[in-house]
Structure formats: C-alpha cells, structure tokens
A and B are shown apart, each in its own frame.
Chain A
Amino acid sequence: MSDPGDPGSNPGDGPDAAPAPDGGSPEGSGPPDEGWRGRLYRLATTSPLERLLISVAALVLSILVGAVIVLVSGWLATCREAALVVFDVGFCYDPIQVYTRLFLGAFGDPFAGGWGPLNFATGLTFKETTLLVFTGLSVVVAFRAGLFNIGTQGQLVFGALASAVAVLYIEPFAPAGLAGSFVLIPVALVAGAVVGGIYGAIPGALKAYADANEVITTIMLNFIAIKVAFVLTAEVFKDPNRQAVQTRPIPENARLSPVVFPDGGDFSLVALVLAVALAVGVFYLLWNTRFGFDLRTGGIQPEAATYGGVNAPRTMVAAMTLSGALGGVGGAVWVLMVHGRYVTDVPALGFDGITVSILAGNHPLGAGLAALLFGVLKSGSLQIESATAVPRQLVGVLRGLVILFVAMPEFFRMIGRRTVVPDRDRRVAATDGGRSPGATADEDGDENGFDATGPGDGTDPGDGTDPGDGTDPGDGTDPGDGTDPGDGADPADGGAPGGGRDE
C-alpha cells in the first residue's frame, strides 16, 4: 500500500485494529455497520482544507460532466435553431450559455444594465438557501451522531403541516397586527419543531432499541409521511373554498413577509437570520457542550461512548429528535415564508439537505455555504429553463454528480498525488503515533473519540472528532473552522488537546 492514510486500505486492520468493532450499538450491530459508519465519519474528518478542496473539485468536475450531458442531450434534442455549432454539427444547447444563465441568472444578471441587488432572482436564490440551511443542519446533526437521516423530508412534511394547523387553531385568540406575529410565528416554529422532532425520534428509537437500520426506516417513513400528510390535509384540514388539497391560508401577520425583497421570490430576511442563528447554535451545541460531545463520540465509537458513561441509545434518540426538529422548523419556515399555507406538493428540500450536508463535510457552518450553492443551482435552474430551453431537471443530475464526486475523495487524492505531493505522509506519520502499524490515520481519528473520553492521550491529535482544529494552515478558507477557538475549551475534551499535532 502506497498510502497508509487511506481508510480501510490495510487488509490487516479489518478484524483487529478497530477495537471491538462489534457490539457497536448497544444491541450489537455488526462490524460492517461500524465500517461504513466509520467511513461516513471519515469523510467528514479529513483536514478542513482537504475537505474544501475536495468539495470544490467535486463541484468543478460535476459542472464539466454536466456540460458533456448538456452537449449530448443538445445533440439528441430537436430544435428549430441550433444554439451552438461545432464543426458543422448543431447542438440545441450551449453548455457555456447554460452555466452563465445558471450562475448569473440566479442573481438576476449582475452585469446587465439596471441591476439592483434586491431583484426577484436573488430573492429566489436566498429563499432556497434559507430552506436548505434547515434541512442541511438536520442531516448534519444526525450524521455527527453516526446516523444517516434520509428522513428529513418526512420530518419537514409533518413539521410544515403541524405549523400551519397550529397557526390556524390559535389564530382566533391571537392579537392582531405585529403583536400577533410575535405570538403566531413562534408558535408555528415550535409546532414544526415538536412534530418534526417526534417524527425524527421514531427512527432514532427504532435504531437504538430495535436495531432497525435507520437508512431504511427513514426512507419508509418519508413515504408514509407524504401520504399521511396528504390524507390529513384532504380529510381534516382542507380549505373548503379551494379545489386543491391544501389548508386554509394562515393570517397575514403570521407570515414571514419579504420586506427586504419586495420584488417577490418569497424570501424573508428574518428566516435567513433564523437559519444562520441555528447553524451557529448547532455548531456551538456540537463542539461546546457536553451533549454535543456525547453525540459526536456516540457517532464515532458507540461502545467507547458507552464506556465513557454516555447512554448511547438515549443520545441516539436525542440526536434524531434534534435532527427531526430542525427539519420540522424548515417545514414551518417553508409554510410561513413561501405559501402561507400547507400545500401537499412539498419540494424535495429534505433530500437536498442530504446533499448539502455531504458537500459541507457534515459541518454546520459549511452547510450554510453548501446551501447557498444549491440555492443558486435551484434558482438558476428556473433561469436556464426560460432562457435556454434546457430542462431544469439538469440541476437534479448535477446534484447527483456532486454527491458522487464528493463520495470519492480518493479519486482527487490520486490526481493530487500525481501533480503535487502534499504533506500527507508527514501528517499520517504524526497522527499514527502510538498506534499499531496496521492502524490507519483515519482510524486514529475515530479512536480519538475513545481516547478523549479517557484521560490523558496526549499523542492523539484530536482531529478525528474535531474538524475545527486549526492545524491546517489553509483553514482560514473554510469558514469558521480555522477560527474556532472552541477546541481546547471543549469542556468534555478530556486530555486530548485539539490542535498543534504536526506543528
């Protein structure tokens, strides 16, 4: 093996290097479970700079592959006038035009005349961004606890319905005007959080106490949520004055109105502020509280967490509840900001949240950036459809490609190794300290959660659990990471000092 830093690259480390891989969850999930969970985690625990580079590279590569898809489909499609002619071959779509429309169009053409920053398209971009921050955070929290919450969509659906219904029920008792807003909006958000949280707790409990794989249960719960919410809306909460299956509209003072972006786009700055506050809050919770520490430790090494006195099943349920609550708040914001009522064709915000989280390396602050990117893609997709005849479903393909490339960091490392030789060897040597030769650097990262619960492992770099450690000089580029002073201050971080391992 040329690169000892590769996860799972050493044949010898399967059975013995990972300490007691079985019995991972209290019910004793098998080693492979730990395997891919650990791997998921590792994806998030590469150094922040590398993380960022991989995400950017994945994005660039997706755009290139997307361009090829645009060309090929433009060659297959029939159109009156070719958008692009190369060597006498006409293509209906021009990739460069598609991407300019996509990225510039998402901000309403900054280089065109008469441009103002508060235009419709920008509002739309921020609207999508805001919603994706909530669902992205939802997935981040679960991921950090070692759980793959694909069910954010269902949690969002129920949260959305609950918030609309709650507002409609207390509407008669709420004061009019702005005073009413201060009652109704918090009620809606709390209702969304509670119901979303409960619905998130179900797969958490099934995982913690019955060892039912949460990937499967959350997918099933999504289907159930969408159908049950439809029935509830149609049979119980339906607006009698409308043909469509939707609830009655919530009062005007319960809506998050687009005050700053009057041109529409259904974007409310208040919602964005809430989203950012939640992102910072989740970041603080995960890295500066006892609960956050337990949650992350449980995500990396459940049996170590148990050994350290963490009630692993309860933490698991709590993490899923929090994750579901964040999805539910996202649903509430969607109702309050976008439609002003619950409508049954809920956009796939929850699924996009997975993409956001994965692209962000499961970091709450990175989720903000990733959400902005997907906000641009979504808003821009409408622009390409109107301006270039390319179906907006292209963005769905790009989404899948981004995930695919983010999933294969090794690909970029191979390319990187061919072009520049990074200082990985040094890093690996340093992180490998004190471990059996068979162990890999990344497993060391996993191990850290264990060591940190027990006192005094000074050799352990602590990078595994803590993406915030400022060892990488390039950190400054990754928002929040390098600047995070919280590592050393982490109250539960025991004897594992965060940064400075290879300096």
Chain B
Amino acid sequence: MSSATDVRRAVGDWADTKRRIAGLAVLAAVVLWALVGVVLPSSAVGGAFWWTLGLTADAVRIGTRESTIRAALRLSVPIGFAALGGIFAEKSGVINIGLEGLLIISAFTGVLVTDLLGPGTGWLLVPAIGPLPAIAMPSIWIGFLAAVLASTLLALLFAVVCIEFRADQIIAGLAVWLIALGLAPFASRVVYGTVNSDGVGTLGTWTVPGLSALPVVGPILFQAAPTVLMLLVAVPASWYLLNRTTFGRWVRASGENPKALDTAGVSVHRVRYAGVLLSGVLSGIGGAGLSLGHVGLFIGNGQTMVNGKGFIAITAYLFGNYNPFGAFGASVLFAGLDALQIRLQQLPAYDIPESLVQTIPFVTVIVALVLVGRTRLPAAAGEHYESGEE
C-alpha cells in the first residue's frame, strides 16, 4: 500500500506543480494584457482590457449593493441547503447526485400541500398526536414541512436502494433526479392542468429583533426570508455537527474507513442512512425555500424551476472541500454571479444577450472545478459496505 501511496503523492505533487505553472502563466498573461492596455489603449487588445476593467469595476460596484447581496443570499438558499445535505451524504460514503431531484420534489410538494390546505395564510389546526398539543400553523408552513417530508422520503428511497440493494450510487442518484423531474410536472398537470402550479404566496420576511438593527449587516442578514435565516443557522450547525460531535465523527469514519467504524461497534448502515436522510431534510428546506420562500409557485417546464441548482450544489461542496462554511461561500458565490448578471444587463454598456450572461455561473463552475482540481473524496464514498457479521 505504501508504494501506491507514494505514487499517489508523487502524482499529486506533479499535479500541484502543473497547476502552479498554469497559475503563473495566467498571471503573466494578465500582466502582459494590462501592459498592452496602458501602452496601446486604442488597440483592440488594449480596448478589451479597459472594457474588462470597467466591467470588473461595475461588477464590484453593483455586487456590493445591498439589493444584490440580498438577492445573492436568497438565491443561495436552495444551493446552500442542498450542498450541506450533499456533504453529509457523501461524507458518510454515499454520493448523492440526486440532490437536484430532492430539490424538485420538495419545491413542488411545498406548493401543492399549501395550495390543497387553502390559499393564503389561513390557520390550520394540527390534531394532537399523543402527548403533543394541537399546533396551529399557517398552511404555508405546513406545506413547508410537507416539502421537507417529501424530500426526506425520496432520500429514504435512495438510501434503501443504495444501502440495502447495493445499487450504483451514481445511477440511483440519476434515477432520483429523473423520477422527480417526471413526477413533479406530472402531478402538477394532474392537479393544475399545466406543468406550472397556481401561486400560493411566500413565507414572507423574518426580522431578528436586535440583530437587525446592526449597521450594514443587520438589514441584509437579519431581515430576510426565513429560509435565508435558516441557512445562516444551518451552516455553523452543520459544521459543528460534522466536526465536533460523536455523530459527525461516525459520519466521517463511515466515509473514510467504514471497517474501522464497524469494528468500533457502530453500524455503518445506520450512519449512512442518517447521512442520506439528513441530505433529504436539508435539500427539502432548500427546495421549499426556492418555491415557497421566494417564487410562490412551482414552475415545471423544461428543467423545472430548480434548473440545475442541485448540480451546482454538488460543485459548491466540492469547491468548498466538504466544509460547510466553504460550501456556503461557494453557494453564495455562484448565486451572487447569477444575481450580478441580472443587474449588469441593465447597464447599457453591457447590452449582451441575456442567455449568454446566464452561462457565466456554469462557466465559473467549470473553471473553478479545473482550478481547484481534484477534491479528495472520502475514501469509501461510492463503495457499498457490508458488515462481516451475518
């Protein structure tokens, strides 16, 4: 094994060196470009430099506006939650490529249940279950919980298929995506007659008393959609859960060295179930945050309203190297690019076709992936594990 490790290290070093060389080359090219811009400002290359510089300046100016940051945070909700979920699943050893499907199913279910319970924010009494008292709750929040439940159930199906029936995780994840991609528009047509649902309103805005009075960050962070606030809580909570608790240690062990975990007497299967179900819960919040928290209806044509956010989430956590904070940062970055492009288009200087600007986040993901290179996956991710005892 040691020679293999050496080889891996050597290959890794060489890859790092190559990456460094590539980085220096890019830097040199930029410097050269700037020189041309200064010396020959009227040439095509020089002009392009100043145009790019202007674009960068405008991007920074607009990007630091409060409304842009708010939009970025709002758009990062589905990506960020799905990314957190993906971390737990993958850290436990199950690659969940079906995050997109979980987002779709929860986005739709949230709207559907809210709508079936009655539009607006009528109060509904949940009958008492056992010792629990009856809870009164606006129907939109019941819809929200239903969305999380739906996503969790689909994640459970995925977990059973992967863990009990040893399905290939990538293909099963793809199936989860395709099932949701078919099921949500199908159900929408059954209920609404079209692939788009009726409008049901949104969750509104929560203001955190005290904190929202803080200068600058107060109104941005603490006077926001409930799901934005939930994300701001979920990120450090996920980090704590993953890095500072026994459960988190089990999750990491389950993905890195399941045999050791098994030897220590912890059921790898159970930990993996927990990891995948957590990804379902978190993605459910993300999906509901997209439809109920922001748009107020479900859009089901083409790739649905989720439109690749689940896949961007995967990139976000890879980009963030499985760190919840890193994944959150990447989510905000990708969502911010999206928010920025909408605003940049309104400037006459950047009258470029909308669709072209919309490709920026996707291009960024590819560039990021190339530059970050290989993120080291948990050693046993994607592998089925069967305990020796039977």
* A, B from the same assembly: yes
Contact of B178 among A11, A33, A355, A391 (CB under 8 A): A355
B166 lies within 8 A of A404 (CB): no
Q: Which of A129-137, A395-403, A422-430, A487-495 participates in binding chain B?
A: A395-403
Bound-state Cα–Cα, A52 to B253, Å: 37
Closest partner residue, chain A, to B365 (CB atom): A220
A-facing mask of B354-371, CB < 8 A → 1, else 0?
A: 011011001101100110
B174 lies within 8 A of A23 (CB): no
A393 lies within 8 A of B382 (CB): no
A118 in contact (CB, < 8 A):
no
Q: Which of B43-51, B131-139, B269-277, B310-318 participates in binding chain A?
A: B310-318
B383 lies within 8 A of A14 (CB): yes
CB distance from A358 to the nearest CB of B (A): 6
Q: Which of A261-269, A407-415, A463-471 participates in binding chain B?
A: A407-415
**Given contact pairs A213-B369, A399-B178, A30 touches B379 in the complex (Cβ within 8 A):** yes
**Given contact pairs A217-B369, A391-B190, A399-B182, A231 touches B353 in the complex (Cβ within 8 A):** yes
A76 in contact (CB, < 8 A):
yes
CB distance from A328 to the nearest CB of B (A): 20
A397 lies within 8 A of B362 (CB): no
Bound-state Cα–Cα, A234 to B97, Å: 33
Interface size class of A (residues with CB under 8 A): 35 or more
User: Which one of A11, A26, A77, A230 has the greatest number of beta carbons of chain B within 10 Å?
Assistant: A11
Within 8 A of B (CB), among A1-36: 1-2, 6-12, 14-16, 20-23, 26-33, 35-36
Within 8 A of A (CB), among B140-199: 161, 165-172, 174-183, 185-187, 189-191, 195
CB distance from A307 to the nearest CB of B (A): 12
B7 in contact (CB, < 8 A):
yes
A-facing mask of B192-236, CB < 8 A → 1, else 0?
A: 000100000000000000000000000000000000000000000
Contact of B179 among A12, A40, A228, A400 (CB under 8 A): A400
Bound-state Cα–Cα, A351 to B303, Å: 11
Residues on B lying within 8 angstroms of A by beta carbon are 1, 4-5, 7-8, 11-12, 15, 95, 97, 161, 165-172, 174-183, 185-187, 189-191, 195, 258-259, 262, 308, 311, 314-315, 318, 353, 355-356, 358-359, 362-363, 365-366, 369-370, 373-374, 376-388, 390
A408 lies within 8 A of B167 (CB): yes
A166 in contact (CB, < 8 A):
no
Bound-state Cα–Cα, A9 to B190, Å: 42
A9 lies within 8 A of B187 (CB): no
Residues on A lying within 8 angstroms of B by beta carbon are 1-2, 6-12, 14-16, 20-23, 26-33, 35-36, 39-40, 43, 69, 73, 76-77, 148, 150, 206, 210-213, 215-217, 219-221, 223-224, 227-228, 230-231, 234-235, 351, 354-355, 358, 391, 393-401, 403-404, 406-408, 410-411, 414
B311 lies within 8 A of A394 (CB): no
CB distance from A125 to the nearest CB of B (A): 20
Bound-state Cα–Cα, A43 to B369, Å: 28
**Given contact pairs A40-B171, A407-B168, A217 touches B366 in the complex (Cβ within 8 A):** yes
Residues on B with beta carbons closer than 8 Å to the beta carbon of A394: 182, 186
Residues on B with beta carbons closer than 8 Å to the beta carbon of A9: 166, 384, 386
**Given contact pairs A36-B95, A400-B182, A228 touches B387 in the complex (Cβ within 8 A):** no
Bound-state Cα–Cα, A232 to B384, Å: 45
Bound-state Cα–Cα, A26 to B12, Å: 10
In the complex, 9 of the A-B residue pairs with CB atoms within 8 angstroms, ordered by the A residue number, are A6-B384, A16-B1, A20-B7, A21-B4, A36-B95, A39-B169, A43-B168, A220-B315, A227-B356
Residues on A with beta carbons closer than 8 Å to the beta carbon of B311: 216, 219-220
Closest partner residue, chain A, to B189 (CB atom): A391
Bound-state Cα–Cα, A377 to B12, Å: 47
Closest partner residue, chain A, to B90 (CB atom): A32
**Given contact pairs A73-B186, A77-B191, A11 touches B7 in the complex (Cβ within 8 A):** no
